[in-house]
Amino acid sequence: MEPKERFEIQLSHVCNNRCVFCVSGQMTEMRMATPTPLPEILERFDEARARGITKVTILGGEPTIHATFFPTLEYALKLGFETVEIFTNGTRLDKPHFIDRVMALGREQLRWRISIQGWTEETHDLTTKKPGAFAKIVKGLEALGALGQHISCNMCVVEQNYRSLRELPAFVVRYDIQQVHLDMVRPRDAGVRDEDYLDGIMPDYAELGAVMRRMFEELEALAPGFDINVGNLPYCQLPDWAHRIHHGGNTTYTVSAEGSGKLSVVAWDKYEDKRSDKRKLDSCEACVFERRCDGFVELYERRRGSEQFLPVSREKLRRSDPQQRTFVHQIDTALVAMVGERFAGWHLHSADDSEFDRWARQTWVHQDGARATLLFLPAEPDDQGGGDGEHRDFVVRLESWSRSDQAGLVTLLAEVFTRMSARLDGRGESGVRAVPSRERLRARRALLLDEGDLGPAVRAGLARLSQQDSVAGWRIASSRLREQGDGATVDFVASSSGGAEARATLHLLGTAGKLAGRWDFGRGDEQAKRALALAVGQLLRPSPSAPQPSPAALE
């Protein structure tokens, strides 16, 4: 999982490529780019580490050609960053001694992000204006793959290279590449150019969308689930693959290099900056993607018009994508509607989602301290597990909870489900398939028993256990009433070393108003078993006014 905050630093603008879209090559050619002093660079790494940032990216220009590269890399690794990413154009990756020297510093923390500006030799070398550059990258990919290194690739999508995207699927399965990011060209980053030049490097979005659609379809056939995303393409140009598009990202503090060899005084959030030269139309307010879309660059509209930027309705998106690849976008309006909702003491505390992995998550808290997390998945989830509530457009599951009784959980699920369903259903229609209920939760949950025949002591003990989705790393797998007497049996499971499941069974029995208990342990770590017994004992220890369990239940 990617950290919430990241840090990246340009060693300088000095570069040995002359990419058609990049300021660094132009500044180098004009002799305006100079190296940054090493002490200034290392100071910024100290600042990032003190901030608690765990992932850093070293970039340029081309960082690997700088005299400061190896001292900087070694310093970053010694500071203890969990991930140090080298963002390179790959022109030194054909040299075994270079790779060996990097590997000697600490291969486990390293990641490689390689700039590929075309998926054929002709296109890459044309876009970078560097004959032979593509061949060096290929040699480097082979060497790094043999070493088991993590490799991702970046491409800036321009008029000169976008047609080569047809070759991307075959390329990424040929080499050990884990991820690809395609980013739309940003005219403001291209250096000092006239408007005709900038217009000439921007691809037509409609033509690009057709090429990308074919690319995605072929890649899905060759490598299902391959991690590829597109930055800053207006969603309306490729709506049925919107789950592969993103505008913005995790907070990334960038320290940029000035031409004079100095670093920027303040680290800035690059995604906030990328939004600064974009705009939207008034009609965009009606689009299903409006909340997540930053719009389009102003130059594109100025030179080519805005007629192609048409809002996409939720209904149109549903019809064009019945497989719900764009699941999060399809229910986004309902997710947003939950912000500010309050009912029965519950309110929304936090929310998260993954367009790529097709899930959304909400954590709700109660005024009395209870907490519950709800997971939203497509109507036909990959695991076929169904939901505690089911709608034509989504299922909702109670993922975890604490300090809440069954009635409170049912109320939360039912209220959220009903409100979201109403938001998604059209006039006169209902997509509801199964409403959350106590009976449905009992059927799907291990510890939702019919407690009508239980005495108060056992009922109180089960209530305390049901307020936890796990205890000391163990989860409740099943529960059942005893065939005779006032009691219940609760089965716990936990993952043990080697991937096998450890099991434990707790027998609860009510005797003369008191709670007694007995454990049956299967195979598993002895310390883990003891931790479970102690944790359960703590949970079952009631307040002074409640029925008292016997010591056997607390051991």
Q: What DSSP character marks residue 301? A: H
On whether the CB atoms of residues 508 and 533 are closer than 8 A, the answer is no
pLDDT tens per residue across span 274-315:
667 899 999 999 999 999 999 999 999 999 999 999 999 999
Residue with the bigger pLDDT between 412 and 515: it is 412
**Model pLDDT for residues 212-256, shown as the tens digit of each residue:** 999 999 999 999 999 999 999 999 999 999 999 999 766 677 777
- The pLDDT confidence band at residue 555, using thresholds 50, 70 and 90, is very low
Residue with tokens 């609760």: 490
Q: Report percent pLDDT > 90 for the chain.
A: 65
Q: Are 415 and 345 in contact (CB under 8 A)?
A: no
Instruction: Label residue 411 by pLDDT band (50, 70, 90).
Output: very high
Mean pLDDT of 7-28: 93
Confidence of residue 545 (pLDDT cuts 50, 70, 90): very low
Digit-coded pLDDT (tens) for 368-406 = 998 889 999 999 877 667 899 999 999 999 887 777 888
Of residues 481 and 61, more confidence is placed in 61
Sheet holding 150-157, edge to edge: 245-246, 227-231, 179-184, 150-157, 110-115, 83-88, 55-59, 5-10, 251-255, 268-269
User: What share of the chain in percent tops pLDDT 70?
Assistant: 90
Least trusted range by pLDDT, from 91-95, 113-117, 157-161, 545-549: 545-549
pLDDT of residue 451: 54
- State yes or no: pLDDT of 552 exceeds 50: no
Cα(531)–Cα(107) distance, integer angstroms = 37
Contacts of 121 (CB under 8 A, 6+ apart): 134, 135
Rounded to 10 degrees, what is the CA torsion of 277, 283, 284, 285? 120
Least confident of 95-109, 233-247, 262-276: 262-276
Q: Give yes or no for a contact between 111 and 152, defined as CB atoms under 8 angstroms apart.
A: yes
Closest CA to 135 of 122, 148, 149: 122
Separation between Cα atoms, residue 377 and residue 368, nearest integer Å? 28
State the Cα–Cα distance between residues 32 and 18, nearest whole angstrom. 14
SS (H, E, C) 246-260: ECCCCEEEEECECCC
Model confidence band, residue 111 (pLDDT cutoffs 50, 70, 90):
very high
**Residue 548: pLDDT above 50?**
no
Structure tokens at 468: 């936890």
pLDDT at 347 over 50: yes
Residues 442, 513: contact at Cβ < 8 Å?
no
- pLDDT tier at 171 (50, 70, 90 boundaries)? very high
- Phi, psi for 398 (deg, rounded to 5): -75, 110
* Nearest alpha carbon to residue 376 among 330, 411, 342: 330
Confidence (pLDDT) at 77: 96
* Ramachandran area for residue 549 (φ above 0: left; ψ -120 to 50: alpha; else beta): beta
pLDDT band at 541 (very low <50, low <70, confident <90, very high): confident
HEC letters along 447-474: CCCCHHHCCHHHHHHHHHHHCECCECCE
Sole residue written with tokens 């990097």 = 102
Which of these ranges, 153-157, 384-388, 403-407, 496-500, has the smallest mean pLDDT? 496-500
pLDDT at 3: 66
Residue 159 confidence (pLDDT): 98
Residue 206 near residue 237 (C-beta atoms within 8 A): yes
Structure-token match 């970053």, residue found: 76
Domains and CATH numbers, the chain: 8-312 (3.20.20.70), 327-443 (no CATH), 454-554 (no CATH)
| Amino acid sitting at position 45 | F
pLDDT for 514:
86
Q: What is the mean pLDDT of the chain?
A: 88
Whether the predicted pLDDT of 104 surpasses 50: yes
296 alpha-carbon distance from chain centroid: 24
Residue 447, pLDDT > 60, answer no
pLDDT at 550: 36
Residue 83 has pLDDT above 50, yes or no: yes
Separation between Cα atoms, residue 69 and residue 67, nearest integer Å? 6
pLDDT of residue 87: 98
What pLDDT score does 499 carry? 64
| 21-35, 62-76, 440-454: segment of lowest average pLDDT | 440-454
> Does residue 443 have a pLDDT over 90?
no
pLDDT surpassing 70 at residue 537: yes
Q: State the pLDDT confidence band at 452, using cuts at 50, 70 and 90.
A: low
By C-alpha distance, which of 2, 5, 25 is closest to 15?
25
pLDDT confidence of residue 265: 45
Q: For the whole model, what pTM was predicted?
A: 0.78
